[in-house]
Structure 1
Amino acid sequence: MVENGIKFVERGISVDIDRRLIPRNKFDFETVELLKKQPPEKLIPALPQLFEWIQDINWPIARDIAKILASCGRDSLTEIKKILRTTDEDWKLWCLTDVVSELPKDLIVDLQPELEKIAYVPTRDEKVNELDAEARQILSLFSN
């Protein structure tokens, strides 16, 4: 176990996470500053918990966390795909606008099936929340 760590179990896999890397509340800018100083590979175990902080982009630390998540590049893709499959339309929107749109094109292409589904076969709620338009906007990066 890591020093100052917590053990997290997902799908039967036990992962040690440095608890200092998980914000304690929506005003925890101290942890955000610590996160900014970490190499992306050190954040990998904490990515699921960090993505939870962009469920409401209006939280004071959310946009900073989104930038950090985008900087993790390829390592963020698994969590992004999970979020895009949820029914939490706000979370999906923030993920698209504040993380996916900041990824390099060569990584966004790995999300193309998920983006195309939202863009061209949106659920009623995805359409109401304009996720289809956001997904099409991101996909348009490939036609330029």
Structure 2
Amino acid sequence: MILPRDKFDFEACRKIRQLNDREISEIGDDLSTWLQDANFPIFKEVTDIFVLRQNILLPSISKIFYSNDSIWIYWILLNVYSRLEKSNKILLKPALTDCLNSIIFKKTLDEDDMEIKDIIQDILCYL
């Protein structure tokens, strides 16, 4: 299985671009962990892979909206979701709605939660 070994593994990213649909879908969840921090040097490379192969990686993107990692969700909204095809954005609507509901029902919201809440509400208004 090809995955980046560290945040500087651009060679693995180049190899991942060459994988077939089945191989990409098998590593999607593990590959998505490299989208947790936009400061990772390979972040843009991995983001581009997710956008280019979005039809295959949509389940992995959806799972991120069910995580409790506000920063990860924020980076996905700004760098991946914003670049998806309209049809895939619509397919993610249930995950976004569930994410929004989980934020709304938190006992305390931090700044990150408030930012994500506002972004998702804006997205859902336009879908």
TM-score under structure 1 length normalisation: 0.72
Q: Indicate the percent of aligned positions where both proteins have the same amino acid.
A: 27
* Deviation readout 1:97-130 (Å, 9 max, x if unpaired): 1222211010111111222344577345766211
Amino acid at match of 2:45: D
1:135 to 103, 109, 120: 120
1:99 to 71, 80, 96: 80
Based on CA coordinates, which of the two structures has the bigger radius of gyration? 1
Amino acid at match of 1:61: I
Q: What is the 5 A alignment of 1:57-96?
A: 57-96=38-77
Unaligned runs of 5+ in 1: 1-17
Unaligned runs of 5+ in 2: none
Q: Which has the higher contact order (CA 8 A, sep 6+)?
A: 2
Q: Distance in 2 between matches of 1:126 and 1:136?
A: 15
Task: Name whichever structure is richer in helix by fraction.
Answer: 2
Task: Name whichever structure is richer in strand by fraction.
Answer: 1
- Deviation of 1:56 after TM superposition, in Å, equals 1.0
**Aligned-pair RMSD on alpha carbons?**
2.3
Q: Distance in 2 between matches of 1:25 and 1:77?
A: 24
Q: What is the 5 A alignment of 1:38-49?
A: 38-49=19-30
